[in-house]
Amino acid sequence: MIQKIRTYTHLGLQGYEIIVEADANNSIPSIEIIGLPDAAIKESKERIRATFRNVGITIPNKKFILNLAPSDLKKVGTSFDLPMAVALLFLIFEDHVFVPRFFEKSLFFGELGLDGSLKPINGLLPCIIDAAKHGYTTFFIPAENIYEVEYIPGIVLYPLTHFHQLLEFFLYGKELEKVDQPKELPDFDMTQIGSVDFEHIKGLLFAKRALAIAAAGFHNLLLVGAPGSGKTLLSRAIQGILPPLSFGEILEVSQIYSVVGKLHKDQPLILQRPYRQIHHTASKISIVGGGAALTPGEVSLAHKGILFFDELTEFPREVLEVLRQPLEDSMITISRVSGSIQYPANFMFVASMNPCKCGYYKDKEKACICSFADIKRYQSKISGPLLDRIDMILEIPRIPVDSLLTTSVEESSFTLRQKVLVAWKRQQQRFVGLSLTANAHMKSQHLSQFIPLDAACKEFLSEAAHKLTLSPRVIHRIMKLARTIADMEEKEQVDIACLAESLQYRNRTFFVESE
C-alpha cells in the first residue's frame, strides 16, 4: 500500500505543499527518489539507509520508490530527509504504525545525520507560516530550529533531536515533547540599536530635522557634502530613531533571513529594523539577489529597514541602475533560466556622496581642483531617473571648529525618536485596513484621498514645479514628504509651509546640470 507523508518547500517566500509518496516492489533492492530532486535530495537515500541501520531497522530487500509530488516542481535542499524516512518507515511497518488523530494536518521537516540525529534546515519559517495559513496545525521539526518558529500562535510543534523519537512515537505510542503555546517576544529598546546617538553630533540642526522627517515617513535620502562633514555619521544615527517593527513585520523580515540561514539561537527573529551598509565593490547579484538558488540580495535583506550606500558615486552605474525597480515597486523580481522569483524589497534608501572627485566642489573653505568635465563625469554615474526616486537631497556643510569643540547639549536620539513616533502613529491610524505603513509607500491613487490640497497649495506647487522643472514622480514625492512634515507638526492638512519645507529638502545645487 502506498504511504503518503506531507511536507512543505518554498520558492522565495512562497510555500508549496509536497506529498512524499512511498511504494515498494520486488525488483532489484534499491531506493529511488523521483519528482525533480536536486543532488542533495538524491544523496538522502544514503543518509536514510544509515539512519535506519543505526536505529535497528532492517530495510527489506525490495525496490523502494519515493516520489515527491507535484513532480513538475523542482525540489531543493535537505529538509526532505525526514518526511522521506517517515514515509519509508510507514511502508515497512504499515500494519504496526500508530497514527494520531492530527496526522492529516501534520508536516515533517529535517535533515538526517548518518546516526539518525536531526540537523537544522534553512527556510523553515516561511514554510510554516504559509502552511499554517492553509490549515496545517502540527509540525515535526529539528529541535535546533525551534527558536525561529516558537513565536507563531495557533500551531503545535514537536521539536526532535533524533529519528529514534519518531520510531518510538509511531511504533510504540510513546509521547513526544510538544510546544503548543507561543513564546512571548523579548522586550527590547529600539533606541539602543544605533551605533551613533544624535546628541554626539554637533550642530547640523537642519540635517537632524530632515533625518527625523525621513525616518518618520520612510523617505529615501541622499546626503551630499565635502569629505569629513558628517554624512556617514548622520546616516548611522538614523538607526536609533526609526519606529519599531510590528509583529507582522517581524515575521515578514525574519522569513527572508530564514531563507538565507541568518537566523540562529541568539537571533531567533529579526526584532529590529535591518541596517545594511553596502560597499562600492558589491556586485549586482549580491545587491538584487540571484545565484543558482535564487537567494535574496541586499535589497531584500534591508526590507523594512535601511539600505545605506556610502560614497554613492564610487559604485558602477550599472549597479546603481538595478535599484530603480525596488525603489519604485518595493519588490524585486529575479529572473534566471532556472525560474523567476519575487522577494519583498520595501526599504528606506539612504546614500551619501561627495559632490566631485576631490570632494570640494562649491566648498566655502577649500577650493575644488576638478575641471567642469571631471565633475560632470563624476556625477553622471547617478542617473536622472534614480535621483527622481530619492525624496530628500540634503547639503551637509562642514561643521565649524568652534561648534565642534563646544560643550553645549545636543538633542538626543531618544528625543528625536519621540517626535518620529508621533508622526508614525498618525500614519498607522491613517492607513488602517490598507497594506501601507508609511507616507512614502503611498501610490498615486492614494494622494487625492490622503493629501488633499486647497487652491493656494495647488497654485504654489504648480509654480514650483514649473520653475524647478519637476517631473510628475518628484511632485508626488514632494506631496508625500509634505504629508510627513504635517504629521510631525500634528497638522490635519498639508499647508503651504509644509510644501515649502519639503521643497527645501530637494537641494540639487551641487549637481552641475542644475546650473
pLDDT of 496 = 94
The alpha carbon of residue 287 and the mean position of all alpha carbons in its chain are separated, in whole angstroms, by: 12
| Res. 190: pLDDT tops 80 | no
Looking at every residue in the chain, the average pLDDT score rounds to 90
The closest alpha carbon to 79, from 133, 131, 10, belongs to 10
Is the pLDDT at 192 greater than 60, yes or no? no
β-strand pairing of 106-108 with 138-142: parallel
The model's pTM is: 0.88
pLDDT reported for residue 515: 47
Backbone region of residue 86 per phi and psi (left: phi > 0; alpha: psi in -120 to 50; beta: other values): alpha
CATH architecture of 3-172: 2-Layer Sandwich (3.30)
Q: What is the SS3 assignment for 245?
A: coil
Residue ranges of domains in the chain: 3-172, 190-514
pLDDT digits (tens, 9 = 90+) for 285-327: 999 988 777 889 999 999 999 999 999 999 998 899 999 999 9
Partners of 341 in the β-ladder: 334
With bands split at pLDDT 50, 70 and 90, how would you rate the model's confidence at 191?
Answer: very low
- Residue 188 pLDDT grade (very low, low, confident, very high; cuts 50, 70, 90): low
pLDDT, residue 67, reads 96
Q: Is the dihedral of CA 324, 438, 280, 342 positive or negative?
A: negative
- pLDDT at residue 46 tops 90: yes
Do domains 3-172 and 190-514 share one topology? The answer is no
Q: Is the dihedral of CA 96, 101, 104, 109 positive or negative?
A: negative
Whether pLDDT at 503 is above 50: yes
- CATH topology for 190-514? Rossmann fold (3.40.50)
Question: What does the pLDDT read at residue 338?
Answer: 67
Maximum mean pLDDT: which of 12-16, 92-96, 458-462: 458-462
Percentage of residues in the chain having pLDDT higher than 70: 97
Q: Where does the pLDDT of residue 230 fall: very low under 50, low under 70, confident under 90, or very high at 90 and above?
A: confident
Q: Count of CB atoms within 10 A of residue 214's CB?
A: 26
Q: 187: pLDDT confidence band, cut at 50, 70 and 90?
A: low
Neighbours of 368 (CB within 10 A): 17
**Per-residue model confidence (pLDDT) at position 257:** 94
Query: What are 415-426's pLDDT values in tens digits?
Result: 999 999 999 999
CB-based contacts of 277-284 (< 8 A; 24+ apart in sequence) = 277/308, 277/310, 278/307, 278/308, 278/309, 278/310, 279/310, 280/309, 280/310, 280/311, 280/314, 280/315, 282/315, 282/319, 283/319, 284/318, 284/319, 284/322
Per-residue pLDDT tens over the stretch 10-41: 988 889 999 999 999 999 999 999 999 999 99
- Mean pLDDT: which of 63-77, 184-198, 357-371, 395-409 is highest? 63-77
Residue 176 has pLDDT above 70, yes or no: yes
Beta pairing, strands 111-112 & 118-119 = antiparallel
